[in-house]
């Protein structure tokens, strides 16, 4: 599958500030998944978005899937030091079940 | 707890010396994946097994082979490791029904391979 573009590559924030990472694809996606990888750790599944315009929340995390199913975002409200890590989106294109990972956004939270 | 286990966690091998990494799972998932992840990069899919069916990515070097003797175990063989093969190798599983949709992947802790 075509790799989805993810920005920014790095983001430094002060604890308590908000954070957003974006994924954009040139093609219409079937689904999009989000994973978090802590430093030295392995990717951990956060959520999967399937429907056009879908918005899902997990505590301080808000996930959105664009109306055209070509983009997605992850927003963290009031970051904490426990949010540190790399957040990957993974696209699933039509007819496939294999996710293709974006480059990831590394979040650094300064206390 | 059901999980994905990888052994060893750290592996040092010499240039050109074959090495085998192992993965086991207690989730009873039918799909198992091997990824290569280099520093500050996304996981790159090498191949996966859907049940017993082996699926190789087009750009996976022939130097990389895999075996899945049963549902629970999967092995990654690197026949002649080069310096460029030093990376974290991640095993993942998913429970897949059909091929028209996708399900979450469960990753093991990874094996960090060093080639000297």
State whether A101 and B42 contact (CB < 8 Å). yes
Domain that holds residue A39: 5-110
pLDDT per residue over B46-55, tens digit each? 999 999 999 9
- Number of structural domains (chain B) is 1
Question: β-strand A10-14 against A29-37: which pairing, if any?
Answer: unpaired
Q: CB of B70 within 8 Å of any CB in chain A?
A: no
pLDDT at B96: 82
Give me the total of CB pairs closer than 8 Å, taking one residue from chain A and one from chain B.
Answer: 57
Judge whether B69 lies within some domain.
Answer: yes
Q: CB of A41 within 8 Å of any CB in chain B?
A: yes
CATH of the domain at A61: 2.60.40.10
Written as one string, the DSSP assignment of A76-91 is ESS--GGG-EEEEEEE
CATH of the domain at B93: 2.60.40.10
Judge whether B55 lies within some domain.
Answer: yes
pLDDT per residue over A65-85, tens digit each? 999 999 999 999 999 999 999
Q: CB of B101 within 8 Å of any CB in chain A?
A: yes
- Number of structural domains (chain A) is 1
Domain that holds residue B26: 4-107
Which of B29, B43, B89, B92 would you mutate first to test chain A, the one with the most A CBs within 10 A? B43
Judge whether B50 lies within some domain.
Answer: yes
| Whole-number Cα distances in Å, A99 to A27, A46, A89, A102 | 14, 14, 9, 10
Judge whether B112 lies within some domain.
Answer: no
pLDDT at A20: 98
Judge whether B92 lies within some domain.
Answer: yes
B32, pLDDT greater than 90: yes
């Amino acid at each position: 599958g075509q790799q989805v573009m993810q920005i920014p590559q790095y983001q430094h924030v002060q604890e308590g500030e908000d954070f957003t990472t974006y994924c954009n694809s040139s093609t219409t996606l079937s689904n999009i998944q989000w994973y978090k990888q802590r430093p030295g750790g392995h990717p951990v599944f956060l959520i999967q978005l399937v429907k056009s315009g879908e918005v899902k929340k997990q505590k301080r995390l808000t996930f959105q899937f664009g109306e055209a199913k070509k983009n997605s975002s992850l927003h963290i409200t009031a970051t904490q030091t426990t949010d540190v890590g790399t957040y990957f989106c993974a696209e699933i294109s039509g007819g496939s079940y294999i996710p293709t990972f974006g480059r990831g956004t590394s979040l650094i939270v300064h206390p | 707890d059901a999980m994905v286990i990888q052994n060893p966690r750290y592996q040092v091998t010499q240039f050109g010396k074959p090495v085998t990494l192992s993965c086991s799972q207690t989730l009873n998932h039918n799909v198992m994946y091997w990824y290569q992840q280099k520093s500050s990069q996304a996981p790159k899919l090498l191949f996966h097994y859907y049940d017993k069916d082996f699926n190789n990515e087009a750009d996976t070097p022939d130097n990389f082979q895999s075996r899945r003797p049963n549902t629970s175990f999967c092995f990654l063989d690197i026949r002649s490791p080069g310096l460029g093969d030093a990376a974290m190798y991640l095993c993942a599983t998913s429970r897949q029904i059909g091929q028209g949709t996708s399900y979450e992947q469960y990753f093991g802790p990874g094996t960090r391979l060093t080639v000297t």
